[in-house]
Structure 1
């Protein structure tokens, strides 16, 4: 795997990654991670697709992983809008499609799924197949009704707290692991990378970030918002997901012109980093979908 620099139109330097296929590629695949992620967390999944013959590429989102402008410290994840991320993805995909062989497929997790779906719906991005893994199409607000949660977020921002972290997080708290994965080994792997490479980690979302996520979810949920998405889309949901709302994922699958939905009832949010009893079925579902929707040329 190589790590070139990809520069966005506004000059932001992104850490990209490029894993050429061994021999003639089966096709070209981009993997985009979720909020506060970095590509090292998903080396297992990328290796799976690479072994399947795919040429694998992608980049760390601006402001996180290797695409940050500062080196150290768990700074809060502050964002007023996801539009810059959508701009980045659309530009990267256009360049990638022009220089790589078809079929062209994109696999995106959580926040990455939010960005990818909006890029297709709002910017006309077209692929041969799109896979959304636990996509952040609506936040899971738990016992707080969504309208109340929206009022709380709006109130915090009006009170001048928008740039502050919305909560504190303790990586050693077992509850944090089980919000993400049942695999202690894979959870510890992600923490190892943050220790090994200071600056990779990112703090908790700010009230601004939560407001941007809620606003993006409203855009996705509008009547007819997904009607322009001609790309076949597989949406995977985790039954034990505490971060995003499964019902919004299933609803989007029904509203897409070519959508498929698959629920893994006992999986947690990071399905591609789960214990194998959920991770392997998730990968198998993706492989099956790509075999049908983006067959080998």
Structure 2
């Protein structure tokens, strides 16, 4: 193929519409093995045809799966990034840690931090820099913990609606944590902490109103759940809740975020009903190199799956941030 024909083929690929309900032809799904032998899913895009921008690792939220974010992942790849995404242990296609297939359980968030460190150390050696992390919701919390614990040293981090605090009763964090600890002791810590729906496995009414204004993108998630039933997950366990509060208290310790020198961009929305927006705003100020993109009523929790105008602003902001703090290697 001539140089002109090659460039034409690349241009055609870049302009081709993204199918949010199909694994891209240039991406490969596989598994990686944690230190204790647990297998977890991953997906990797081939090296971009054009000049490589760097490498980007995406990590989803609680009860999430990377299929929901194929649109953003493919866009980053087309922008020149070598893209990878992975499940958290016990979620999506990476098994379960509880007593049933729907309840999301973990004994301690440190398990996820350890998995991230193990994956990160090998991934960085295999991929070109700069190396950036993008994480959503609970994934953002775990990445923040890994930064505070010194487990990873990315060139830049983007946190989408990070779970740096959970939306809920306006009580002191210590009180909420104490209640959760009691609940793990009066019954199985693996039992669901909240009601999911009247019928096991059925999606709760009005769930879309918590996640996105975009009906089509919300329907994409339902399509993937139907076609890959193993991805479905319901409520978190009381053990998960207790561990989430315990980990949040670690993040809230004086000097914890303040010692992190990695550039961190936080994308958050003031009407988020799943995570605490005020905690995200505080974190953007606590990270020495923190920045904030703030949305209002136009955006629900899943900003990267919002209507085009909102999502476009978020994606453009992320690109501008990464161009500034993690420019392509020369």
TM range (shorter): over 0.9
Q: Deviation per CA, 1:169-197, whole angstroms, max 9, x where unpaired? A: 23544421111111111111101111111
Q: Give yes or no for the alignment of 1:265 onto 2:292.
A: no
In the other structure, the counterpart of 2:42 is 16
Larger Rg: 2
Please say if residues 173 and 245 of structure 2, whose CA atoms lie closer than 8 Å, have aligned partners that are also in contact. Answer: no
Q: Give yes or no for the alignment of 1:235 onto 2:263.
A: no
Which runs of structure 2 are paired with 1:37-186 in the superposition (5 Å)?
37-68=64-95, 74-142=101-169, 146=173, 148-170=175-197, 172-186=203-217
How far apart, in 2, do the equivalents of 1:14 and 1:111 lie?
Answer: 17
Deviation at 1:93, TM superposition (A): 1.1
How far apart, in 2, do the equivalents of 1:9 and 1:123 lie?
Answer: 18
Q: Deviation per CA, 1:73-108, whole angstroms, max 9, x where unpaired? A: 742111121111111111111111112111111100
Moved more, 168-177 or 82-91: 168-177
Deviation at 1:205, TM superposition (A): 0.5
Deviation at 1:277, TM superposition (A): 2.7
How far apart, in 2, do the equivalents of 1:144 and 1:241 lie?
Answer: 18
SS at the partner of 1:235?
strand
How far apart, in 1, do the equivalents of 2:65 and 2:168 lie?
Answer: 25
In the other structure, the counterpart of 1:279 is 311
The counterpart of 2:276, out of the listed 239, 245, 251, is: 245
Unmatched segments (≥5 aa) in structure 2:
1-26
How far apart, in 1, do the equivalents of 2:191 and 2:95 lie?
Answer: 19
How far apart, in 2, do the equivalents of 1:150 and 1:82 lie?
Answer: 14
Please say if residues 142 and 242 of structure 1, whose CA atoms lie closer than 8 Å, have aligned partners that are also in contact. Answer: no
How far apart, in 2, do the equivalents of 1:12 and 1:242 lie?
Answer: 33
Structure 1 runs, 4 residues or longer, greater than 3 Å off? 142-152, 170-174
Paired residue total: 295
Q: Which has the higher contact order (CA 8 A, sep 6+)?
A: 1
- What do you get for the CA RMSD once the two structures are aligned? 1.7
TM-score in terms of structure 2 length: 0.85
The counterpart of 2:250, out of the listed 219, 222, 226, is: 219
Moved more, 87-96 or 141-150: 141-150
SS at the partner of 1:127?
coil
Deviation at 1:164, TM superposition (A): 1.0
Please say if residues 120 and 228 of structure 1, whose CA atoms lie closer than 8 Å, have aligned partners that are also in contact. Answer: no
SS at the partner of 2:55?
strand
Please say if residues 103 and 234 of structure 2, whose CA atoms lie closer than 8 Å, have aligned partners that are also in contact. Answer: yes
In the other structure, the counterpart of 1:7 is 33
TM-score in terms of structure 1 length: 0.94
Unmatched segments (≥5 aa) in structure 1:
none
How far apart, in 1, do the equivalents of 2:261 and 2:88 lie?
Answer: 25
Deviation at 1:272, TM superposition (A): 0.7
How far apart, in 2, do the equivalents of 1:143 and 1:91 lie?
Answer: 36
How far apart, in 2, do the equivalents of 1:206 and 1:105 lie?
Answer: 31
